[in-house]
Amino acid sequence: MKVGYYPGCSLESTAAEYNESLKEICSMLDIQLNEIRDWNCCGATSAHCLDEKASFLLAARNLEIAEKTGMDLVVPCSGCFSRLKFAEKNALSNEKYKGMSTFRGSINIIDMTALLSGSTVLEAMEKKLVKPLKGMKIAAYYGCMSLRPPKITDAPDHDNPQSMEKILAALGAEIIPWTFKTFCCGGSLAITRTDIVRDQVNRILDMAAESGAECLVTSCPMCQSNLDTREDEVSRQFSREIYIPIFYFSELIGLALGSGNAGSWFMKHQVDPRKLLSEKGL
């Protein structure tokens, strides 16, 4: 399978392990990721807060580049995905943006978890499984942006998404059902309102532990970094010991498919997941 690939700024910095693990597992699964040339920042949460037109045009430029390749565009970052989908929908059907972009809608914009939870990919994953994640109690955490609003994202079940659960099931993990999988962590306030963010992170980690999860798995770089970097502060602020590693779903796929590089991804986390993994014999 050949697809266009829009990594986005986070995957080149704070989510480097997401990018590295994705590239590796995609090559293991015979998915060719073709990074679109000279892409720009999608505008993230900042552009739409300050200027709507800019938020549309920044995202639309990437769609125009991707469309020229003729390949569907896969987007790993939930934030980028939501902005590119926003531009897609508005370029095609909003009078306000008419004539502002040459994007014609001849390619699809696909969320990475949707691509990797497709049935043929799952079959390939099951065939290549060398280290099943047996006994690992995992809750999938999606956050907001790959899901809401469904009118923009086309998410099939925005209140109870299943793409990561399907993947985790194929990897042999024990899936923990819980109610906080789409609760917002406050990622857009991560730097500016750490007071609020610590409250939200505390709520999410608390609910995960209550539900019996030993770790969380996510596809959103803002969620991962928000939860991973604030966990230690939250432990101290709320005087309780928390140890819940936050994985990218691609890292767990890599681990289960026997990648030799998994250790180098885990080293980049603030909450070191290797303690949990060694307890599980992984």
Partner 1 sequence: MIERIAELTGNEIYRCYQCQKCSSGCPFAQYMDFPPAVIIRMIHFGMKEKLLSSETIWVCASCETCTTRCPNEIDIAHIMDALRQECVREGFKPAGKNVYLFHSAFMSSIKSYGRVHELGMLGKYKLKSGNFFDDLKLGYDMYKKGKIKLFPHKIKGMRDIKKIFKKIIN
Three-state DSSP class for 106?
Answer: coil
> How far is 80 from 34, CA to CA, in rounded Å?
17
Q: Does 280 bind partner 1 (CB under 8 A)?
A: no
- Cα 67 → chain centroid: 23
CA distances from 135 to 40, 172, 210, 279 (A): 41, 8, 18, 10
Q: Nearest CA to 228 among 198, 276, 264, 270? A: 270
Please, which residue, 45 or 235, has the CB nearer to partner 1?
Answer: 45
Please, which residue, 77 or 175, has the CB nearer to partner 1?
Answer: 77
Q: Does 41 bind partner 1 (CB under 8 A)?
A: yes
Among 27, 54, 93, 275, binds partner 1 (CB under 8 A): 54
Among 16, 122, 207, 209, binds partner 1 (CB under 8 A): 16
Among 27, 40, 160, 179, binds partner 1 (CB under 8 A): 40
Q: What backbone torsions phi and psi does residue 28 show, to the nearest 5 degrees?
A: -65, -30
C-alpha Rg value of the chain to the nearest Å: 18
Q: Does 19 bind partner 1 (CB under 8 A)?
A: no
* Burial track 4-35 (b if 16+ CB lie within 10 A, e otherwise): bbbbbbbbeebbebbbbbbbbbbebbebebee
| Assigned token pair, 80 | 């980028």
Q: Does 267 bind partner 1 (CB under 8 A)?
A: yes
Dihedral class, residue 229 (left if φ above 0, else alpha if ψ from -120 to 50, else beta): alpha
Q: Which stretch binds partner 1 (CB under 8 A): 35-43, 134-142, 170-178, 273-281?
A: 35-43
Q: Does 63 bind partner 1 (CB under 8 A)?
A: no
Among 52, 154, 174, 206, binds partner 1 (CB under 8 A): 52
Residues 74-93 that bind partner 1 (CB under 8 A): none
Q: Does 191 bind partner 1 (CB under 8 A)?
A: yes
Q: Does 142 bind partner 1 (CB under 8 A)?
A: no
Please, which residue, 85 or 166, has the CB nearer to partner 1?
Answer: 85
Using CB under 8 A, list all residues that contact partner 1. Answer: 9, 12-14, 16, 38-41, 43-54, 57-58, 61, 144-145, 148-150, 158, 183-184, 186-189, 191-194, 196, 200, 229, 267-268, 270
